[in-house]
Amino acid sequence: MKNYITDRCFIIAELSANHGGSLDIAKKTVRAAKRAGADAIKLQTYTADTMTLNVESEDFMIKQGTAWDGQYLYDLYKEASLPWEWHKDLFDLAKEEGLVCFSSPFDKTAVDFLEALNTPIYKVASFEITDIPLITYMASKQKPMIISTGIAAMEDIELAVEACKAVGNNDITILKCTSAYPAAPEDANLLTIEDIAQRFGVNSGLSDHTMGIEAPMIAVALGAKMIEKHFILDKSIGGADAHFSLDEQEFKQMVDAVRLTEKLMGQVDYEMTDKKKKSREFSRSLYVVQDVIAGDKITELNVRSVRPGFGLHPKYYEEVLGKPFSINLDRGTPLTLQHIIG
């Protein structure tokens, strides 16, 4: 299995439903994702029939205070789904653009379809984390597994991880996710990212539905190895996910912010680099602050700790007080051990 987790955060542009029913728009979105700095483009592989039932009853109507309220699940998924016949074109285009292309399958037929396209990664969508047979089937293909936690209880995450490991697949990345569209900042709980990595012994990251780019920046600072964000060519296209997706300019701002955060985080470092050594010239050291003659005693009046740092280290200050000067010295001379008797 290729390792997509490195010291550099892996950034995924989620195409999702942002294709406007047009293969041309989908292709333009892939190219825009590359321009915006994404490492990967992610699709979703389902049909309305593989996702739900075409039943117009209360059970199948969305009524949770979302932008999709009042719609039946079947109708939403029929509108939002990416035609399967487009997948190969998008996989091929992504390869040409230097992007990793993969998908979230929602049933076993989708897994088989993606295997035929040689998908390099599988993503378990938030609402599918309870589908252990599907996760097992995905993981059995021995590709890296990405799992979102949007609706997950602790037991759900444990079962999903166990399902992967049971078939010998230990290449697991778990993404902290809040299944609200958009997600409120107070529901993000980004500190969970660190806990996921420690608790489950996996890579962790963020599948972000908040508005803006702040959450990914903070996530990277907390150790996120992967960021996923919904991406749209132009919000005027509309569609099921347009209202919480980033356009090319916004996504590029996010990528730039993530890369800057990585630079700022750096690594644990106490090394005395050439830059640090040069800057130490501005540190404090012991200087003669009054003209003195040989035999004068060092006092608080004629020697002080001041900038710059070319004199004796201030740690010697108490030690040299009261000792005589060995030679005449002018005000502004950096004190050295050779200037002191005893």
Does one domain contain both 219 and 160?
yes
How many domains are there within the chain? 2
Does one domain contain both 309 and 227?
no
| Cβ atoms of 199 and 176 closer than 8 Å | no
Lowest mean pLDDT among 167-171, 208-212, 237-241, 266-270: 237-241
In a domain, 67, yes or no: no
List pLDDT tens digits, range 196-233.
999 999 999 999 999 989 999 999 999 999 999 999 99
Q: What is the pTM of this model?
A: 0.86
13 alpha carbon, distance to own chain's centre: 12
Long-range CB pairs of 129-136 (<8 Å, 24+ gap) are: 129/156, 129/157, 129/160, 130/156, 132/159, 132/160, 132/163, 134/105, 134/106, 134/107, 134/108, 135/160, 135/163, 135/164, 136/163, 136/164, 136/166, 136/167
The yes-or-no verdict on residue 239 having pLDDT over 80 is: no
Q: DSSP string of 206-226?
A: EEE-BSSSHHHHHHHHTT-SE
Does one domain contain both 204 and 181?
yes
| Cβ atoms of 216 and 257 closer than 8 Å | yes
Alpha helices in 7-153 (DSSP H): 23-35, 48-51, 73-80, 87-97, 108-116, 132-139
| Cβ atoms of 20 and 83 closer than 8 Å | no
Does one domain contain both 249 and 316?
no
pLDDT at 2: 73
Does one domain contain both 192 and 209?
yes
List pLDDT tens digits, range 261-304.
999 999 899 999 999 999 999 999 999 999 999 999 999 999 99
Pairing of strands 40-45, 100-105: parallel
Does one domain contain both 166 and 299?
no
76 pLDDT tier (thresholds 50, 70, 90): confident
Distance CA 264, CA 217 (A): 11
- pLDDT, the chain, mean: 94
Does one domain contain both 180 and 322?
no
User: Coil, strand or helix: which one is 76?
Assistant: helix
pLDDT at 161: 98
Distance CA 123, CA 105 (A): 7
Least Cα distance to 224 among 2, 3, 1, 5 occurs for 5
**Domain end: 229, 248, 265, which one?**
265
Whole-Å CA distances, 249 to 38, 94, 220: 12, 19, 20
| Cβ atoms of 123 and 42 closer than 8 Å | yes
List pLDDT tens digits, range 41-51.
999 999 999 98
The yes-or-no verdict on residue 69 having pLDDT over 80 is: no
Domain span holding position 105: 10-46+81-265
Does one domain contain both 117 and 192?
yes
The yes-or-no verdict on residue 249 having pLDDT over 70 is: yes
1 pLDDT tier (thresholds 50, 70, 90): low
Whichever domain contains 136, its CATH number is 3.20.20.70
**Domain end: 237, 265, 293, which one?**
265
pLDDT at 204: 97
Does one domain contain both 21 and 124?
yes
pLDDT at 137: 98
List pLDDT tens digits, range 106-124.
999 999 999 999 999 999 9
Does one domain contain both 121 and 176?
yes
In a domain, 1, yes or no: no
Does one domain contain both 211 and 236?
yes
Does one domain contain both 203 and 314?
no
pLDDT at 151: 85
The yes-or-no verdict on residue 149 having pLDDT over 70 is: yes
81 alpha carbon, distance to own chain's centre: 27
Angle, CA of 94, 168 and 91, to the nearest 5°: 10
In a domain, 54, yes or no: no
User: Coil, strand or helix: which one is 136?
Assistant: helix
Roughly how many angstroms between the first and final C-alpha of the chain, as a whole number? 68
**Domain end: 244, 265, 286, which one?**
265
Whichever domain contains 316, its CATH number is 3.90.1210.10
Angle, CA of 310, 312 and 313, to the nearest 5°: 100
